[in-house]
Structure 1
Amino acid sequence: MTPVTPIEPHLRRRDGARRRPSRVERGDRAVERTVPIPVHREPQRAEPVEPTEPDVEARLSERALAARFFPVVAAVVAADLATKAWATSALATRAVRLVDGVALALHYNRASAGGVSLGAHTRDLNFLGTGVVVALMVMIVPSLTRLHRRAWVAAALIVGAGLGNMASLVSDDRGVADFIAFSHGNGAAWVLNVADVALAVGLALLAWTTLVLARAARREAAHARVR
């Protein structure tokens, strides 16, 4: 009679076949057989940072740009002309002190920006220069907005300010009505109107836009060097 060797339960498969042990018996200990497998690892490289263009994720179409640009221009012109009309009537014979160094006092400016006189043709040159600036800003605002999505705000303020002062030059021979007076200790004063304030804000925003674009250009140059 042939002797039958019992099979350990943990070495049986479900189909009843004997499974080959995966361990090497050494004495009374089971030692795992491990085979070293060489693994090739690529050296880690710093991922170059893709330059991000300012506000390109949602560029405005020409129609959407016009729907935002021209209402702001119209609002600046309307506010400027309305406040000038109020100042010419309410401040014709008096001045109103608001706080130290700031007052409402009517003054007609026949010179260029900053009070610079250009002679007998100052008015005509002001009108011509302002018209050139306004036309230039209207022409380049689509390109500026493609570079920076909010650049149209600065352009709209500048154009509105220019149109407001141009309307004043045409409608009043006395000059542009200024009525917001700023003074300091020695009594010198700067007298502005709403168009001048809009112009100052627009130029500040345009300078900020230029700074943003310059930073984006530097990032693009750094990215090109990494490549």
Structure 2
Amino acid sequence: MDCIAHRGFAGRYPENTLGAVRAAAGHADLVEVDVRRSADGEVVVVHDETVDRVTGATGAVREFTAEGLAALDVLGSGERIPTLAAVCQALPPGVGINVELKERGLAADVAAVLAETDPNRALVSSFDAGALREQRDAGGWPLAYLFEDGPEAGLDRARDLGCAAVHPHWRLVDGAFVATAHEAGLAVNAWTVDDAASARRARRAGVDGLIVDSPEFC
């Protein structure tokens, strides 16, 4: 079963930063990060649409250049908002990456970064089916559809998109769900597991991976 470090184990390290990625890589099979577009067109690693929650600044991510984002302090840690390329380069051999698309229009550049940095293993996920269609058309990387309700519809959407995996909320996961997904050729990675009880439930259901906030839940 894969251990997937959610935002670089956000429960333990400053989320979506190079420090988190490097620290998480010692415990995880894949590191999950979120990507958006900066004002100057770079693919940058940050979850929210704005920088408000994770920095002392305010404003939309798209209003900052990559250099401007790199000057912001993430959660008072001294870590900065990195580019996707920098994150991929920080991954040691043997550790993969799960890139979550937080908006559309990123597919070609995400594919280019992954091709240039050649991570050991890559998976591109999103809640947005349109973003996954763009990534599918850009080619080259396995896809995963994220959802938190409507398990049957989620599986159908994943099949239609040609996904390799589904990423359901852990509350949707039971043995029947996993069996149905596997019959459709879909791996199941449950999110976001942040306590031991939900981790045990997901394991009993037979999931292929846990997307977790801290390594002790894998």
Bigger radius of gyration among the two: 1
TM-score by length of 1: 0.23
TM-score, normalised with respect to structure 2: 0.24
Which structure is higher in RCO with an 8 Å CA cutoff and minimum separation 6?
A: 1
| Structure with the largest fraction of strand | 2
